[in-house]
Amino acid sequence: MKTVNIGGVREKIIERSDYPPAKLKKILGKETVAIIGYGVQGRGQSLNLKDNGVKVIIGVRKGPSWKLAMEDGWVPGKTLFEVDEAVRRGTVVQNLLSDAGQKAMWPVVKENLQEGAALYFSHGFSVVYPKQTGVRPPKNVDVILVAPKGSGTTVRRHFLEGRGINSSFAVHQDFTGKARDRCIALGIAIGSGYLFETTFKKEVYSDLTGERGVLMGAIYGLWLAQYEVLREKGHSPSEAFNETVEEATQSLYPLIAENGMDWMYANCSTTAQRGALDWFEPFKKASKPVFKKLYKSVSSGEETRITLEANSKKDYRKNLAKELKAIADSEMWKVGKVVRGLRPENQEGLAAGKKKKRTKKATKASAKKKPAKKKAAKRAKKR
């Protein structure tokens, strides 16, 4: 455990080395972790837990998620169950359904929770907004949270690469007296590199703000605005995309991830440095009022209302597919697909794939010729 001082604020950071395999086994060895939902988080976290030696079962409704779980090796009646049965069997119940799904399935989960179980979330949404979700955990269970700072796909990918993902953790209710240990051990077992403490409310407010802001919504808005201005001023689609997205994701953002914003600036031209240092303040001033408006919408519960209302509609997935298709079909992302295909590594992969196909065709052609040779030999013998 490490204490860091940032801007006068002392924070305790829990590292993977603080919970080695022997300690994880001591805490989780007798637990049965029931993963409810097999979306990106359910899939990533369950497979990592399983690989870390934790007893895991999956709880989903029969359908696409059930089929995917079976393809991943979960066995019906042994490690794969309907939601009610999985909850009954679990000593830890990881509720990883979508926020709307958690609202819909809460009566089933609540009815089957066992006393002393740990009710685990990776997002505090349902617990923080009980009036809208109906989720009010009973008093006789632990209520804990581990929120990976990335998608379930990244959680799994980093684990397989021997890396870890940053996660926050929180204990909302400690019925058994061991909620904190359970929470941290699970956080490490799902693949976290380190954990920092928060509360359910702070996790929700920061998460919803981040997703709608710089992580997804704001960044796309900025990219689109710049791309459109460049195109309106006569720049080609390729040039506009490269100067807006490709250079950012492939060259500059990795430098920020490596060693910070100042490091990225230091590794750019003096012209780029001067321009960035002169212009970040105007962009900050222009966007800060929007972020304040966004945070107010989050803290008031308005974003929760919008999310639940949209996600609860029967045609939500159909409408979502239309919205995503509109983005994919826009000029900017059509150009993006072409540009990504032109990356050297993708060109090499394409060339290798073509070579492999040519080899397969040649092999098939050779195989077809062999019977003809045998027939010719037989005719020669008859003569």
DSSP letters spanning 79-130:
TEE-HHHHHHH-SEEEE-S-HHHHHHHHHHHHHHPPTT-EEEESS-HHHH-H
Dig out the tokens for 49 from the structure. 């837990």
Task: Report the C-alpha gap between 79 and 109 in whole angstroms.
Answer: 18
In contact, 169 and 186? CB cutoff 8 Å: no
Please give the DSSP secondary-structure letter assigned to residue 249. Answer: I
Whose tokens are 């870890």? That residue is 164
**Which residue(s) pair with 165 in the sheet?**
192
Q: Using alpha carbons only, how large is the chain's radius of gyration in Å?
A: 26
Which one-letter amino acid corresponds to residue 202? K
Which one-letter amino acid corresponds to residue 305? R
Task: Report the C-alpha gap between 44 and 152 in whole angstroms.
Answer: 5
Verify whether residue 123 is a known catalytic residue: yes
Name the region of 173 (left: φ>0; alpha: ψ -120 to 50; beta: rest). Answer: beta
**Hey, is 192 helix, strand or coil?**
strand
- Which member of 123, 158, 172, 235 is catalytic? 123
Task: Report the C-alpha gap between 215 and 286 in whole angstroms.
Answer: 18
Question: 200-215: string of b/e by CB count within 10 Å (b at 16+)?
Answer: beebbbbbbbbebbee
Burial of 60 (0-12, 13-18, 19+ CB in 10 A): buried
| β-strands 80-81, 142-148 pairing | unpaired
In contact, 46 and 38? CB cutoff 8 Å: yes
Burial of 123 (0-12, 13-18, 19+ CB in 10 A): buried
**Hey, is 229 helix, strand or coil?**
helix
Catalytic residues: 123
